[in-house]
Amino acid sequence: MDFKGEWKKLLLIAGLFLASFYLPVGAQRFDSALLESLHLVRWYAREHVLLCLVPAFFIAGAIAVFVSQASVMKYLGAGANKVLAYGVASVSGSVLAVCSCTVLPLFAGIYKMGAGLGPAAAFLYAGPAINVLAIVMTARILGVEIGIARAVGAVVFSIVIGVLMHLLFRKEETARAAGQIALPAPVVKRPLWNNALYFASMVGILVFANWARSGDIRAIFLCCPDGLTAYKVEGTLVSRTAETVTIADTGGKVQTLPADLMQGVEEVQKNSVYELIYRSRWALVLALLAAFAYMVRAWFSRDELREWVAATWGFAKQILPLLLIGVFVAGFLLGRPGPGYEGLIPARWIDAALGGNSLRANFFASFAGAFMYFATLTEVPIVQGLMGAGMGKGPALALLLAGPALSLPSILVIRAVVGTRKTLVFVLLVVLMATISGMIFGAV
226: closest CA among 62, 392, 339, 66? 339
pLDDT for 417: 83
Classify residue 418 by burial, with Cβ atoms within 10 Å: 0-12, 13-18, 19+.
buried
376: closest CA among 174, 138, 166? 138
396: closest CA among 380, 377, 407? 380
CA 120 to centroid of chain Cα atoms? 15
Neighbouring C-alpha atoms within 13 Å toward the C-beta of 47 = 15
> Residue 16: what residue type?
L
Task: Look at phi and psi of residue 420 and say left if phi exceeds 0, alpha if psi is from -120 to 50, else beta.
Answer: alpha
382: closest CA among 414, 335, 419? 335
- Interacting residues of 244 by C-beta distance below 8 A, sequence separation 6+: 256, 257, 258, 259
CATH T-level assignment (fold) for domain 217-269? SH3 type barrels. (2.30.30)
Q: Cα(387)–Cα(381) distance, rounded to whole angstroms?
A: 10
Number of helical H runs and strand E runs in the chain: 20, 5
Q: Cα(374)–Cα(31) distance, rounded to whole angstroms?
A: 23
What is the residue extent of each domain of the chain? 33-213+274-443, 217-269
Element (DSSP H or E) covering residue 75: helix 69-76
- Interacting residues of 97 by C-beta distance below 8 A, sequence separation 6+: 127, 130, 131, 132, 133, 134, 207, 376
**Cα torsion at 231, 236, 242, 243 (round to 10°)?**
-50
Task: Write the DSSP symbol of residue 45.
Answer: I
CB-based contact 414:426 (threshold 8 Å): yes
Q: Taking every pair of C-alpha atoms in the chain, what is the biggest distance, in angstroms?
A: 74
CB-based contact 129:434 (threshold 8 Å): no
Return averaged pLDDT per consecutive 10 residues of the chain, 444 residues in all: 72 86 82 83 78 79 71 63 72 58 74 77 76 65 77 82 86 70 56 80 82 60 52 65 70 65 59 75 90 89 86 80 76 68 72 73 85 66 63 83 80 84 90 88 80
pLDDT for 207: 77
What is the DSSP track for 221-268? EESSTT---EEEEEEEEEEE-SSEEEEEETTS-EEEEEGGGEEEEEE-
Q: Cα(422)–Cα(128) distance, rounded to whole angstroms?
A: 19
CB-based contact 98:205 (threshold 8 Å): no
> Which phi and psi angles does 381 have, rounded to 5°?
-65, -30
Q: What is the pTM of this model?
A: 0.63
Sign of CA dihedral 260, 263, 267, 273: negative
Burial 202-215 (b: 16+ CB within 10 A, else e): bbbbbbbbbbeebb
Q: Cα(77)–Cα(110) distance, rounded to whole angstroms?
A: 10
Sign of CA dihedral 261, 266, 271, 275: positive
> Residue 74: what residue type?
K
CA distance to 11, 243, 244, 259, per residue, from 240 (Å): 59, 8, 6, 8
Total residue count of the chain as it appears in this document:
444
At residue 300, the 3 state secondary structure works out as: coil
Element (DSSP H or E) covering residue 425: helix 420-443
Cα 142–Cα 92–Cα 291 angle in degrees, nearest 5: 115
Q: Cα(201)–Cα(386) distance, rounded to whole angstroms?
A: 39
Cα 156–Cα 158–Cα 164 angle in degrees, nearest 5: 95
